[in-house]
Amino acid sequence: MKFAPIIMILFMLIPACQKNDAKSFEIDSSDKQVLFFSNETEHANLQIEAPYYDAIIELRQRFPEEFNEIKTFAPTTDKAIFTKLKVEVCPAIIVLHNDKVLVQVAGESSKEEILQPIEAALMN
């Protein structure tokens, strides 16, 4: 049952994330926004996404305001936002501010490789 911890994290994290249609997504340039891109349809992707879920949980504790409105997108339903932000690989986390991408972490990464650039972007 090596997937049990991952599944538990998913159950805790997914309700906290909002699922949005690209059509209804609006970029609020005055606030930093955190976006999570997940290919939830691929079972094999759970292993790659696990460090992202761990990082999001930790970052949410440190930056509750910024992660209060985290938005989650999937390539099967949100193609327009993937195209607009040039997201080619899942999983990915992007921090937006003033209509600009401050940081993007994508693909297979360790928890630390995710935490460091996202923390730096949120602290500035």
Residues 57-71: tens digit of each pLDDT? 999 999 998 888 899
Does residue 101 carry a pLDDT above 80? yes
pTM: 0.76
What is the rounded distance in angstroms from the CA atom of residue 54 to the CA atom of residue 105? 14
Give the pLDDT score at 69: 84
Residues 11-52: tens digit of each pLDDT? 455 544 444 444 455 666 678 899 999 987 666 677 889 999
Q: Please, what is the Cα angle at 52 between 43 and 107, to 5 degrees?
A: 70
Query: CA dist 17 to 1, 2, 68, 73, 124, Å?
Result: 25, 24, 8, 10, 23
Residues 87-100: tens digit of each pLDDT? 999 999 999 998 89
Domains of the chain (ranges, CATH numbers): 29-123 (3.40.30.10)
